[in-house]
Each structure stands twice: as C-alpha cells, then as structure tokens.
Amino acid sequence: MPQVGTSSSAARWQMNSCKCSRPSGPPTRLSFTASSTKCQSLTLVPSLCRSRPPIYMGAFVPRALKRLAKYADGWNPVAIPLDGMAQMFDSIKQLAKEAGRDPSRIELVIRAHPEIADKPLGKERSLFSGSLDQIKEDIAGCRNIGAHEIHFDPTFMKGGQALDRWLAVMEQMRKLI
C-alpha cells in the first residue's frame, strides 16, 4: 500500500489532505501517518467522490501560499490589513496561474473578528474594529479587493461567549452587509 506521507508537520498533513480530497483514476488504497492522525487503510473511490466540500486554507508564509495556490479552492485570511490582503491575494492568484490553475477559481473568504466600539477608533485600528460605520467601511473595502464572503466570528470579543450577545452581534453585522 503506498504511503501518502509521513510527517509531524501541519504543512505536510495539510498538503496530503488536499491531495486525498481530489482522487482520480482507479480506486486507490493508501495509509497516512501524521502527529495527530493515523490511517492504516483508506480506499479512495473516485466514482464516489465526484463532489467534495471546498478547501479553504489560512496561509500567510510563501510556502503555504504556494500550497494553497496549487491545491485549495480559496484563501481564508484573518487579521491582515486590507492593503496587505489585496497584495497577498494577487500573489496567490499568480501562483495558481503558475501551477496551471485558473486563478479566477480561487476564492477569498475573510474571517472577521469584530470589535464594536461606541465611538470611532483612530487610524491604527484593526480591521473590523471600531464603530459600526467603520466596520461597514471595512466590509466595503473587502468587496473592493474581491472578497467572495466574510465570515464573522464574534466569539473573541467581550461577551461573545454568551449566546445572546453573540446573536446580537451577528444581527448587527447582517445589517451592515
């Protein structure tokens, strides 16, 4: 049985996961070992795997961006200023083209951790932090750089662990879209 990979690094596991999610050819038996995962025998049957969920990767360093461009369906950045995000996404699309992929098929799905303030914050604020008007501007900025989706996660903001607060923040974000 072929070894897909043996590594304790998350990068190797991520790459192998992407490869395994796109089976082609005849049924293949394989095994896989990583620091947190061990699969002794797995059979991939392409006829049963015609459709799969999309793969979105949060990648920030050059090797991970190359891996994303080669294997993933989209990029899932978090906590990057819009200018930097736009530059990195352009780089990912160029890397996808170099890898023989259609760059227009790579999606940008931004993860947002909102921090709502009563008053506008200064220029040095983080993306999706500040007044509701400032967060609305950030959403518009994401549209301008070609974001396909924004995934709001208020879990990390003050009170975000309480369901009522979480739902109230999500409703506020919905109204800004």
- Give the pLDDT confidence of 105-152 residue by residue, as tens digits: 999 999 999 999 999 999 999 999 999 999 999 999 999 999 999 999
Runs of H (alpha helix) within the chain: 10-20, 62-71, 82-98, 132-144, 163-176
- Give the pLDDT confidence of 52-102 residue by residue, as tens digits: 789 999 999 999 999 999 999 999 999 999 999 999 999 999 999 999 999
Q: What is the fold, at CATH topology level, of the domain defined by 56-176?
A: TIM Barrel (3.20.20)
φ, ψ (nearest 5 deg) of residue 162: -85, 130
Q: Measured between alpha carbons, how far is 55 from 98 in angstroms, rounded to an integer? A: 19
Q: Where in the sequence of the chain do the CATH 3.20.20.30 domains occur?
A: 56-176
What residues pair up with 116 in beta bridges, in sequence order? 130
